[in-house]
Structure 1
Amino acid sequence: MSTKSKTLRGPAPERLASQLREDILGGRLQPGARLGEMALADRFEVSRGPVRAALNMLSESGIVTIVPNSGARVRILSREDARALYEVRAALESEAARLAASTTGAGTGQQFRTLLEQHAQEVGTHPQGAYLQGAGDRDFHMVTARMAGNPIILRYLTRELYPQLSLLRIKHRNVTGRGAKALREHERIAAAITDGDPEVAGLLMRRHIENSWTALEAQLAQTAKDTE
């Protein structure tokens, strides 16, 4: 009996997509890497059907590119792609901050204080380095998006925008980040949300994303220059 008939826990395409997403966003599969159906089917001990379905899922989330008659590869994001992502990010996250401030609760301030105190300790060890955040409840932007209470904004951010941003950062993970400056911007946004000031919260978040893009754009330009 073929090992490819074995079934592991969870629906096969979703399981495969989850594993491949981890490999891609963890940097184990680099941008441009070929994702051959036969090789992946052998690796996961499944038929090519679930592999094809998984690759289609990842294509929909924007981290895999599928070219007819050529196959699938980990997506390579251009500077134009990055700019477009940040434009959408500014719109969605500024609205998320505005909504979060409109529905702020008694525990909002404490939640932000606990989170940002952790970040301050981490940033303090490398103030000019990248602002590295954990996933889920340790990510300032994710916490803010959840506070907004808008499932559509949250879905677009978590299923499409954030995975593509993570893929973009893989290529530039060793480039100097904004560190302490980004932390101070987060603190101001958190204060506006906690104070229940939607307009200021939205404005500060938009400026924060724009500042982030300015820094990244300079990094992209320098990286391109270094590779010439």
Structure 2
Amino acid sequence: MYTISESPTRGRAIESVEDALRAEILSGTIEPGERLGEMALANRFSVSRGPVRAALSNLADAGIVMLVPNSGARVRQITRADAGALYQVREALESAAARHAAERATRQDVSELDALLSEHGRSVAAHPEGAYLQGDSDRDFHLVLVRLSGNPIIRRVLAEQLYPQLALLRTQHRSITGRGLAALDEHKRIAAAIRDGDGEIAEILMRRHIANSWASLSTQLDSHRADVRAQSKA
């Protein structure tokens, strides 16, 4: 549990509250739909309500908190329709990022990308039935490609808005399994196109990769929803 014991400037207070709440929401410590009361949070973090209100507004902009009129803030519950919309945007932006990365990547970039995928390969081989866990932003294949794209707008939209929502989606559906081996193979094909400097192929392969990811996820979401309905009728 995060606490804030110091009395920082307003900007630092907002950042501290925001970081703490983000971590707890994305870890599932604060559950979907749970109310985030300003007064309770202000007391907990020993700050005024102003920084709390600003932090909640920032988290709402990131798509992981909902500000409900006359009710306050709550942790967002991401529906199947929400997930589908997120993946549509992800497919468009990440395929463009892959194309730009192929056009801009240096030999050093390609070498580092190959080393990253080798590292991922060892991780997936150790847990072939598990999810494809990539670690922090420096070790995440998609974030690395977004950085290599050199497009600050794509990077900002994905890193600050779309990826937090995808992280919340994964938190809310912990039973969803990954596509470890298949996803790794798709990543390698994309990396090969980037190595060849072929932006068109990199874009196509990334589009297919995201589409495959959504097909797997949507099937599992539908199956989970059917199981819930069956249990409710039992």
TM-score scaled to structure 1, two decimals?
0.95
Corresponding position: 1:196 with 2:197 = yes
Which residue of structure 2 lines up, in the alignment, with residue 175 of structure 1?
Answer: 176
Uncovered stretches (5+) of structure 1, i.e. residues with no partner: none
What is the CA-CA distance between 1:128 and the residue it aligns to?
A: 2.5
Calculate percent identity across the aligned residue pairs. 57
User: Any residues of structure 2 matched to 1:30-109 within 5 Å, and which?
Assistant: 30-109=31-110
Mean CA deviation greater in 13-22 or 64-73: 13-22
User: 1:7 Cα shift?
Assistant: 2.8
Return the letter of the residue paired with 2:26.
Answer: L
Matched residues in 2 for 1:130 and 1:56: separation?
32
- More displaced 10-residue stretch of structure 1: 18-27 or 97-106: 18-27
> Is the CA contact (8 Å cut-off) linking 2:84 and 2:214 kept in structure 1?
yes
Whether the aligned pair in 2 keeps the contact of 1:64 and 1:73 (CA below 8 Å) is yes
Per mean C-alpha deviation after superposition, the further-off stretch among 120-129 and 52-61 is: 120-129
Which letter does structure 1 place at the counterpart of 2:136?
A
- Amino acid in the other structure paired with 1:186: H
Q: Say if 2:95 and 2:204, in contact at 8 Å, map to a contact too.
A: yes
Residue 145 (structure 1) aligns with: 146
2:158 matches 1:157: yes
Q: Is the 8 A contact 2:176 2:217 kept in 1?
A: no
Residue 96 of structure 1 contacts residue 144 of structure 1 at CA under 8 Å; is this kept in 2?
yes
Q: Residues 5 and 46 of structure 1 are in contact (CA less than 8 Å); yes or no, is this contact kept in structure 2?
A: no
Distance 1:4 1:186 in 2: 43
Runs of 4+ displaced beyond 6 Å: none
Looking at structure 2, the residues matched to 27 and 119 of structure 1 have their Cα atoms a distance apart, in angstroms, of 25
Q: Is the 8 A contact 2:33 2:74 kept in 1?
A: yes
Indicate the SS of the match to 1:11.
helix
Unaligned runs of 5+ in 2: 230-234
Report the TM-score when normalising by structure 2.
Answer: 0.92
Per-residue Cα deviation, 1:1-39 (whole angstroms, up to 9, x for no partner):
xx9993379621122111111111122112111111111
Cα RMSD, aligned residues only: 1.7
Give aligned pairs, total.
226
Change (3 A) 1:103 1:6: closer
1: distance between equivalents of 2:34 and 2:179?
29
